[in-house]
Structure 1
Amino acid sequence: MNFTEFEYFKDIIQNRLDDYFSEEANAQQIKTPSFKDWGLFVPEMCIEAGLSEEEKIVLLLALCPHVHSNLLDSIIQDRLSTTGDFPQLGGVRGKNYRGFLPTGETALFITAGEDIEKRKEIQSFFDPDHFFAKHRILWLEEPVAGEPRMSGKIVFSQEYVELFTIGKVSKPEFSMKFPAQILETEMKWEDLVLSTETNQQIQELQTWITHGDTLLHDWGMHKKLKPGYRALFHGPPGTGKTLTASLLGKYTGKDVYKIDLSMVVSKFIGETEKNLANLLAKAEKTENILFFDEADALFGKRTNVRDAHDKYANQEVSYLLQRIESYKGLVILASNFKSNIDDAFVRRFQSIIHFPLPKAQERLLLWEKAFPSKVRLQQDVDLTNIAQRYELSGAEIMNIVQYACLCALGDNKKTIYQSYIINGIQREFQKGGRVMR
């Protein structure tokens, strides 16, 4: 790759080294080109941030090993051959990557030299409240215990490496660092049966996904509204919460990531927050939809403080609240009971959508849509009566239909009999500990 901005960057480093080793003051002012002249794909938010000259240099310094792996070594080795060891430059060697990896000290040397005030300014680039850290673009790796903070290696987010070099972020793969899998479905909106009120609220949610950027940026509401959107889906199991999330992604071109909470929640202090922070940092580069099923485990009610454990648990919930609120995409929390979710979360949801058990007319629609086209219903099958008599969720109806179809296949038939369906209903009632009347 041959990017113009790195030609300037090379001159900046070379000029800084010449100035340091020369007895005469001959420093030249070399500026990096404007972002619009960079060959890299500069994300829009970096352009809008109005980064200073020094911030641009630190950005290029952190990117350099990923884009021009031998650039820093070629300059430094040439200088070390005449000067010997040069600790002021900082830098470390990687485990697999044997080239020069810049540290905070490298950034200080190149941008500030011995200027104390300038060095303080550059150090602030690695503070938690700086633009770089807020967007998880780059940060300092924790240094070895007892060593100076700026001796830590500069880490550049892999997602932003992709954004700067190829203009997009690859889909994250399921791992300990990203415990989430994509939800997909072959079903369509017309296959989903919801109450009129629930369906209307879902359409409002789809409108936000489609037009949220227009509202925030084109209409100038980003100063008044927080980024992102938070929705709570609550209702009994099998009423369409997961399917709705899948369809929202399918029809808006967004990936829907179902979070594996067993890999996020940890008994160790600080680990849950760390796991969630890593997950959100990866997800928010693409602003896809995050779906927390059975969210009570992570966002449950805070308790009265009886001991240190309760105090920490409450702090954990407060952190989760803050972190979810800053996510720029859509976050959906799903729970069987709204009352299980902490009130502080509930107040911050833009949408609270109830998924009730379907009524008789809705159950009839589910029954009619459920059977495959290659089977026929025996004349004694009365779906209207079944829908009115048995209160079932959509998922339970699909289980019964599957059972009935397997019965037909086992009997080498393409006909569904009333007995197949009734036996299937009885099985579902037994699973739930209910008595069939």
Structure 2
Amino acid sequence: MIYDEFKYLEKFIQYCLDTHFDGQSGSGAPQLPPMEEWSVHVPDILWEADLTKDEKTLLLLALCPHVYGNLLDSVIQGKLDSTGDFPQLGGVRGKNFRGFLPTGETVLFLLGGTELEHRKKVYRYFSADHFFAENYILWLEEAPEGEPMTSGKLVLSQDYVDLFLQGKVSKPRFSLKFPAERITTEMEWDDLVLNPETQDQIRELRTWLAHGDTLMYDWGMSKKLKPGYRALFHGPPGTGKTLTASLLGKYTGKEVYKIDLSMVVSKFIGETEKNLANLLARTEKTDSILFFDEADALFGKRTSVRDAHDKYANQEVSYLLQRIENYSGLVILASNLKSNIDDAFVRRFQAIINFPLPKASERLLIWQKAFPKKVRLHTDVDLPGISQKYELSGAEIMNVVQFACLRALQVGKETIHGPDILKGVKREFQKGGRIMR
């Protein structure tokens, strides 16, 4: 069964072909069903946009290959079998999808006809300031250099394909086109041990996530403030930067994506900007939190210009600065050293949050929270003494706890002994090139 809106599209294409080849269509132009009668789910943004008939038809044309792969072929090929080749219709074949894929030329033929003024109107549907482009709904794929723009393939955003067909956007999957991994945690805020000053600053981030829209739109600050919020987490490894980002997402209902910088940064000129732009465009629509770990690789200090490569590298950093500054959600950059981040970025952070190594009292709290409830500590375990003597990060303490628990399981016991903890501490010191005293 073909949905009514696509029956309309089929009849409309047939009407356009008949009119062109025969000089008459045999009947009047078909009537487009109102959107409330469409069988696909219509996203809210399209209800509110007051689209024209041509714009709605354009949406159906872009969506059709995702719903009825052979519909366009059947109606077009039936006519071309009797009339021969017709390049004005445009259209291409995909690499895997062998059906008819509409191009800008297809849109021009169907909606613009041969009248120049009508065709100029259709061109505007693909301009950068049109509703479709501003909201990343549909566009024309970039044409080969020197060829008309309209030879590019008509592309409907995968997010809007999902919205039309499922009523919700599918979560992005890690890939070369989306080099970001969704991070989650089963831990709670009570499991995170930070010093009071750091905790206060994290509460500010939670406040912005909860009330940022109220500040920007209800209170009218969108005219005075740039969109989004940018925070720098700096401090030694294992001090809670990634866990904090995960918890911020967990308690605000937002997805947190950790960016794989090795896949974003490219040695080829222009590719880094393209990779980052694609990633930001995808996550911005889902109001996700972006977490750049080891951000020095992407947002490091600009160098003095000695050659063309240095000049380009500095231009790349400037582009990244501009693009991140216009991101409407929360962006977190994490670095081991604040001094590694370019000063131009630092000036634009709303929050710069230090994650220092925990003090003895904080280490004791981490030790006490770290062990599973099923085990007991032997009387030879002196957690206050261990906390006081050995400077370890939270992640290092968890490594020691894991080691000691595995030692207990190895001998079939549920008791943790002091020597096993100390051996685990020694291993952590050796990994870091430190001497245990």
Q: Give the TM-score, by structure 1 length.
A: 0.89
Residue type matched to 1:177 in 2? K
Q: 1:67 to 1:405 in 2, by over 3 A?
A: closer
Structure 1, 183-192 or 24-33: larger mean CA deviation: 24-33
Q: 1:75-126 deviations in whole A, cap 9, x for unaligned?
A: 3234324433222211122333232211111111122222323323422433
**Structure 1 vs Structure 2: percent identity of aligned residues?**
70
Letter in 2 for 1:371: F
Aligned to 1:369: 369
Residue number in structure 2 paired with 1:328: 328
1:31 offset after TM fit, Å? Answer: 7.0
Which range is displaced more, 51-60 or 272-281?
51-60
3-state SS, counterpart of residue 252 of structure 1: coil
Distance 1:115 1:414, change over 3 A: same
Shift of 1:393: 1.1
Segment of structure 1 superposing worse, 280-289 or 211-220:
211-220
d(CA) in 2 for partners of 1:39, 1:353: 49
The aligned residue for residue 155 of structure 1 is: 155
Q: How does 1:297-308 map to 2 (within 5 A)?
A: 297-308=297-308
Partners of 1:45 and 1:196 lie apart in 2 by 43
SS class of match (2:169):
coil
Shift of 1:299: 1.4
Give, in angstroms, the shift of residue 366 of structure 1.
0.7
CA separation in 1, counterparts of 2:341 and 2:27?
Answer: 61
Q: Give the structure 1 partner of residue 94 of structure 2.
A: 94
CA pair 319-207 structure 1, distance change in 2 beyond 3 A: same
Distance 1:79 1:164 in 2: 29
- 8 A contact 2:15–2:25 mirrored in 1: no
Alignment partner, residue 436 of structure 1 = 436
Q: Is the 8 A contact 2:18 2:25 kept in 1?
A: no
Query: Runs of 4 or more off by more than 6 Å in structure 1?
Result: 24-31
Q: How many residues of Structure 1 are paired with residues of Structure 2 in the alignment?
A: 437
Aligned with 1:352: secondary structure? strand
Hey, what does 2:176 align to over in structure 1? Answer: 176
Could you tell me how far 1:378 is from its partner in structure 2? Answer: 3.0
| Mapping 1:338-357, distance limit 5 Å | 338-357=338-357
Matches within 5 A, 1:282-321: 282-321=282-321
Given the two structures, how large is their TM-score scaled by the length of structure 2? 0.89
Match in the other structure for 1:75? 75
What letter matches 1:172 in structure 2?
P
Paired residue type of 1:42: V
Is the 1:381–1:417 contact (alpha carbons within 8 Å) kept by the matching residues of 2? yes
Q: Is the 8 A contact 1:70 1:99 kept in 2?
A: yes
SS of corresponding position for 2:251: helix
Residues 299 and 36 of structure 1, relative CA distance in 2, 3 Å threshold: farther
Summarize the Cα distance change of 1:93–1:421 in structure 2 as closer, same or farther, 3 Å threshold.
closer
- Counterpart-to-counterpart distance in 1, 2:388 and 2:60: 67
The one-letter code of the counterpart of 1:242 is: T
Match of 1:252 in 2: 252
Quickly say closer, same or farther: Cα 1:109–1:250, change in 2 above 3 A. Answer: same
Please give the root-mean-square deviation of Cα atoms over the aligned residues, in Å.
2.9
Shift of 1:312: 1.0
Is residue 140–residue 152 contact of structure 1 (8 Å, CA) maintained in 2? yes
Cα deviation, 1:349-404, whole Å, max 9, x if unaligned, reads 33322211112221111111112223333334332232223222111111222233
The corresponding residue for 2:269 is 269
How many Å separate the matches in 1 of 2:224 and 2:50? Answer: 21
In 1, Cα distance between equivalents of 2:259 and 2:435: 35
Find out whether 1:384 has 2:384 as its counterpart: yes
Q: What residue is the counterpart of 1:208 in the other structure?
A: 208
Cα offset, 1:335, TM superposition: 0.9
Amino acid at match of 1:179: P
Query: Given residue 361 of structure 2, which amino acid in structure 1 is its aligned partner?
Result: Q
